[in-house]
A and B are shown apart, each in its own frame.
Chain A
Amino acid sequence: MELGTLLDRVARGDQDAFEQVYRHVAGPVYGLALRVVRDPAQAEEVAQEVLVDVWRTAARYDETRGSALAWVMTLAHRRAVDRVRSAQAQRVHLP
């Protein structure tokens, strides 16, 4: 089933649909997170946050603004950016 259609079902709380979404996007999301944060443990945390975001905010996906994959990758990108920014901010504040 197509990712956009699955997201519609996820928005209504369908966990089976979410399992299928997970199979589609977990690899791309984890790959992106790892390349950005460069640490497997942190990439796993970022991927977890992103995938739970997908579950929580599926209703916010608007198909007129792009494909479902682009939406998921944008979420992943944001989360990974946040992680890198906060890590850098902490480093800056160290004496």
Chain B
Amino acid sequence: MKQELHALVGAYAVDALDDIERRRFENHLAECESCARETRGLREAAAHLGSAAALPPPPRLRDKVMADVARVRPLPPRRSDVRGRRGPTPWLFTLAAAACLMVVAGFLGVLTVRAQDRAERAEAANRQIIDVLAAPDARPASGRASTGGTGTVVVSRAKGKAVVVLAGVPRLPGSQTYELWLLGPSKPRPAGLLREPGTPVIATGLGDATQVGVTVEPAGGSPRPTSVPVLTVALPA
């Protein structure tokens, strides 16, 4: 029972539980410090991944919001910390689950694509990303790049996969790309190109890797690193 609840951390953090599961999990959270800590870490990683996808809103949004703000008074702090619930919607469960998948995909800032085949490929990538984020053993980690910006990683050792996203790093000219590496006892292994900062990349086959590194390479990538990493992040064991 306890184990079963522990396993819901990832799904809870990305808001992929139904109302009943969520309530059970929140009761559990109140008394399980390790789940509370994991939830915070994953939420932070998800927020980070989400904000990497920031877009400037239309300028009129500010005026609309400020007009509302002038009319509405902030609520006083509440005593109990029980979160208000919107009505439970069990009949919507299947739809909700589908919505959650879309939402998590959106959360990760995967580019909206219109063409059908591109959409299908994006869906497949989204599913892989969700698979890692919602894994029972998903752990977040992050680091600062020497060029400015950050890298955020969510690792599932059980799946041997990691989701990596860069935020706020300088954009590279077309002749160069960021390349991801798995670092450990054996020699660096290439793990994919980060062409678009802000778009998450899945690294598979983690094996005995203890770190991920990012280097700047010629467009198309290199079989082994040709420059000093601009970022390394230690992977949680």
A interface residues with partner B (beta carbon < 8 Å)? 10-13, 15, 18-19, 22, 26-32, 34-36, 38, 40, 44, 47-48, 51-52, 55-60, 62, 65-67, 69-70, 72-74, 76-78, 80-82, 84-85, 88-89, 92
Taking a contact as CB atoms under 8 Å apart, the answer to whether B58 and A55 are in contact is no
Taking a contact as CB atoms under 8 Å apart, the answer to whether A85 and B89 are in contact is yes
Taking a contact as CB atoms under 8 Å apart, the answer to whether B55 and A34 are in contact is yes
Taking a contact as CB atoms under 8 Å apart, the answer to whether B74 and A89 are in contact is no
Taking a contact as CB atoms under 8 Å apart, the answer to whether B68 and A69 are in contact is no
Complex Cα distance, B14 from A80, in Å, reads: 13
In the complex, the chain B residue whose C-beta lies closest to that of A29 is B57
CB distance from A61 to the nearest CB of B (A): 10
Taking a contact as CB atoms under 8 Å apart, the answer to whether A69 and B96 are in contact is no
Known: A55-B72, A60-B77, A78-B15. A30 touches B44 (CB 8 A): no
13 A–B contacts, CB within 8 A, in A order: A28-B54, A35-B105, A52-B68, A59-B76, A59-B77, A60-B77, A70-B40, A70-B44, A70-B46, A74-B47, A81-B15, A88-B95, A88-B98
In the complex, the chain A residue whose C-beta lies closest to that of B83 is A60
For residue B109, which residues in chain A have a CB less than 8 angstroms away from its CB? 31-32, 35
Of B59-67, B147-155, B156-164, B177-185, which binds chain A? Answer: B59-67
